[in-house]
A and B are shown apart, each in its own frame.
Chain A
Amino acid sequence: MTDMEEAGAVSGDGDGASFAGPDNGLADSSLTEEYKHPAEAAAGFAWPLRIMTAIAALFMFAITALTFVDVTGRYVFNSPVDGGVEFIEFGLGFLIFSALPLVIIKRAQITVELFDNFMSAGFKRVREVIVLIASAGMIGFITERMYTTGVEMHENDDISLHLDLPMAPILFILCGLAAISFVIQIYVAWRITFNDPRASEPGTGHTGKSA
Chain B
Amino acid sequence: MTISLIGFAVLLAIAFFGFPLGYSMMLVGFVGVTIVRGLGPALETVSQQILDLALNANFVTLPLFILMGVFVFRAALAEDIYDAAQAWLGNKRGGVAMATVAACGGFAAISGSSIATAATMAKVAIPPMRRYNYDEGFAAGTVAAGGTMGILIPPSAALIIYGILTEESIGDLFIAGIVPGIITVLLYIAVIWIVARFRPQMAPRAERATWRVRWVTLSKVWAVVVLFLAIIGGITFGIFTPTEGGGIGAIGALLFAIARRRMNFKIFYYALAEAAETTAMIFTIAFGALVLNSFVNIAEMPGAIVAFIKDLEIAPIYVILVILLIYVLLGTVIEGLAMIFLTVPIFVPLVEAMGFDLIWFGIVLVMVVEISLITPPIGLNVFVIKSMLPDVPLAAIFRGIVPFFIADIARLMLVVFIPGLAIWLPSLLR
Please determine whether B383 and A7 come into contact, CB atoms closer than 8 angstroms: yes
| A residues less than 8 Å from B251 (CB atoms) | 64-65, 68
Check: B323 CB closer than 8 A to any chain A CB: no
The 6 closest A-B pairs by CB, nearest first: A67-B247, A7-B383, A11-B387, A99-B280, A109-B20, A31-B270
How long is the Cα–Cα vector from A28 to B263 in the complex, in angstroms?
Answer: 9
Are B275 and A112 neighbours in the complex by a CB distance under 8 Å? no
On whether the beta carbons of A70 and B247 are closer than 8 Å, the reply is: yes
Whether B20 contacts A127 by the Cβ 8 Å rule is no
Q: Given A7-B384, A68-B250, A96-B54, are A35 and B123 neighbors across the interface (CB < 8 Å)?
A: no
| Cβ-defined contact, B157 with A211, below 8 A | yes
The CA-CA distance from A93 to B287 in the complex, in Å, is 12
CA distance A66 to B393 in the complex (A): 48
Closest to A109 in B: B20
Question: Is B78 part of the contact surface with A, judged by Cβ < 8 Å?
Answer: yes
Task: Return the CB mask of A32-53 against B: 1 if under 8 Å, else 0.
Answer: 1011000000000000000001
A97 is an interface residue with CB less than 8 A from chain B = yes
**Contact between B55 and A210, CB atoms less than 8 A apart:** no
B285 contacts the other chain (CB 8 A): yes
Q: In the complex, are the beta carbons of A102 and B273 less than 8 A apart?
A: yes
Give the distance to chain A from B386, nearest Cβ to Cβ, in Å: 7
CA distance A127 to B17 in the complex (A): 8
B114-128, CB < 8 A from A: 115-116, 119-120, 123-124
- In the bound complex, residues from chain A placing their C-beta under 8 Å from that of B23 are 109, 134-135, 138
Contact call B277/A92, Cβ cutoff below 8 A: no
Residues of A within 8 Å of B, CB-based: how many? 84
Q: Could you list 23 A-B pairs, sorted by A, with CB under 8 Å? A: A6-B384, A10-B384, A11-B384, A13-B119, A25-B76, A25-B79, A27-B73, A31-B274, A56-B272, A61-B272, A67-B247, A71-B240, A71-B247, A86-B57, A99-B273, A109-B21, A110-B338, A111-B18, A149-B51, A174-B54, A210-B157, A210-B275, A211-B115
Interface residues in A183-211 by Cβ distance below 8 A to B read: 205-211
Separation of A26 and B283 alpha carbons in the complex (Å): 29
B289-324: CB near A (< 8 Å → 1, else 0) gives 000000000000000000000000000000000000
Q: Are the CB atoms of B380 and A98 closer together than 8 Å?
A: no
Whether A93 and B337, one on each chain, are in contact in the complex, defined by CB atoms closer than 8 angstroms, is no
Contacts of B43 in A (CB 8 A): 145, 148
Q: Is the CB of A60 within 8 A of B63?
A: yes
Chain A minimum-CB-distance residue to B69: A210
Is B279 an interface position by the 8 A CB rule?
yes
Q: Mark A1-19, 1 if CB is under 8 A from B, else 0.
A: 0011011101101100001
Contacts A26-B123, A108-B277, A134-B23; is A211 near B282 (CB within 8 Å)?
yes
Q: Is A21 an interface residue (CB 8 A)?
A: yes
Given A7-B384, A13-B119, A95-B276, residue A111 in contact with residue B113 (CB < 8 A): no
Bound form: Cα–Cα A211–B150 in Å: 10
B80 CB to closest chain A CB (Å) equals 12
Which of A31, A56, A90, A148 is within 8 Å of B280, CB to CB? A56
Asked if B218 is an interface residue, CB under 8 A from chain A, the answer is: no
A-facing residues in B19-57 (Cβ within 8 Å): 19-23, 26-27, 43, 46-47, 50-51, 54-57
CB contact between B21 and one of A86, A111, A171 (< 8 Å): that residue: A111
Select the residue from A23, A26, A70, A75 with max chain B CB neighbours within 10 A.
A26
Whole-angstrom distance between the Cβ of A199 and the nearest chain B Cβ: 17
Interface residue count on the B side (C-beta < 8 Å): 88
B339's nearest neighbour on chain A, judged by CB, is A112
CB distance from A36 to the nearest CB of B (A): 10
* Inter-subunit contact A109/B281 (CB<8 Å): yes
Is A89 close to B, CB under 8 A? yes
Complex interface: chain B residues within 8 A of A142 (CB): 46, 50, 287
> Known contacts being A108-B277, A111-B18, A211-B278, is A92 close to B262, with CB within 8 Å?
no
Contact of A112 among B69, B282, B334 (CB under 8 A): B334
- Whether A148 contacts B276 by the Cβ 8 Å rule is no
Are A208 and B19 neighbours in the complex by a CB distance under 8 Å?
no
Contacts of A92 in B (CB 8 A): 54-57, 59-60, 63
Query: B16 in the interface, Cβ–Cβ < 8 Å?
Result: yes
Give the distance in Å from the alpha carbon of A137 to the alpha carbon of B138 in the complex: 47
- Is residue B243 contacting chain A, with contact meaning CB distance below 8 A? yes
CA distance in complex: A207, B267 (Å): 16
Q: Provided the pairs A32-B266, A102-B280 are in contact, do residues A57 and B18 lie with their beta carbons within 8 angstroms?
A: no
**Proximity string of chain B (251-272) to chain A, C-beta cutoff 8 Å, 1 when within and 0 when not:** 1000000000110101101111
Asked if B18 contacts A26 (CB within 8 A), the reply is no
